[in-house]
């Protein structure tokens, strides 16, 4: 089984893809990706090459008007019967947590690997990386469970299943 990890920044795959042949697509050549390209251009790549496309915390790095093109590229490179596994921050959870706790945009929401992650980081991108000149970390749109499911269905994915908690949304759609 072959999985394309879109914008993963590393070759690390989540446990459910253990044993899969992972290929990395990233726009940043410093990651040494197998495919160094913008996900918007995936529609130009050879069709039906992958059993799965994993896009973990990358789709929010595209402008909203580009999301349909990115998803069309995912569908294009998937084999028949394949699936896209898309994970994004849950913007609804973010707003709920801020309102419930009467928290400011610069307050820490959670910690990842010991590093603080603020509400601002989740809304607009990881500020620490961007301060150091890595603008690939900028967030250009956000998703609710409904908006992600709708975008995937409009792109042509079938049987879209959503799992969400306060921090994250995972959507799996089939080709």
Residue 126, CA distances (Å) to 59, 60, 97, 118, 155 in order:
14, 12, 18, 9, 28
Each residue's pLDDT tens digit, 81-140: 999 999 999 999 999 999 999 999 999 999 888 889 999 999 998 888 778 887 788 899
Each residue's pLDDT tens digit, 33-81: 999 999 999 999 999 999 999 999 999 999 999 999 999 999 999 999 9
Nearest to 82 by CA among 74, 94, 73, 90: 74
Q: What is the pLDDT at residue 69?
A: 97
Specify the fold of 2-89+141-174.
Answer: Rossmann fold (3.40.50)
Domain boundaries, the chain: 2-89+141-174
Stated pTM of the model: 0.92
């Amino acid at each position: 089984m072959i999985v394309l990890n879109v914008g993963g920044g590393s070759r690390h795959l989540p446990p459910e893809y253990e044993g899969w042949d992972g290929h990395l697509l990233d726009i940043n050549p410093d990651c040494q990706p197998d495919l160094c390209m913008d996900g918007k251009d995936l529609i130009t790549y050879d069709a039906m090459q992958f059993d799965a496309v994993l896009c973990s915390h990358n789709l929010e790095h595209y402008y909203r008007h580009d999301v349909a093109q990115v998803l069309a590229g995912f569908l294009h490179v998937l084999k028949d019967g394949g699936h896209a596994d898309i994970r994004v921050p849950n913007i609804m959870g973010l707003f709920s947590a801020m309102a419930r706790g009467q928290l400011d945009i610069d307050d820490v929401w959670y910690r990842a690997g010991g590093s603080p992650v603020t509400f601002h980081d989740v809304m607009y991108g990881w500020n620490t990386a961007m301060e150091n000149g890595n603008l690939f970390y900028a967030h250009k749109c956000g998703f609710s469970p409904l908006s992600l499911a709708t975008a995937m269905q409009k792109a042509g994915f079938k049987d879209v299943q959503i799992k969400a908690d306060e921090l994250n949304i995972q959507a799996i759609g089939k080709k």
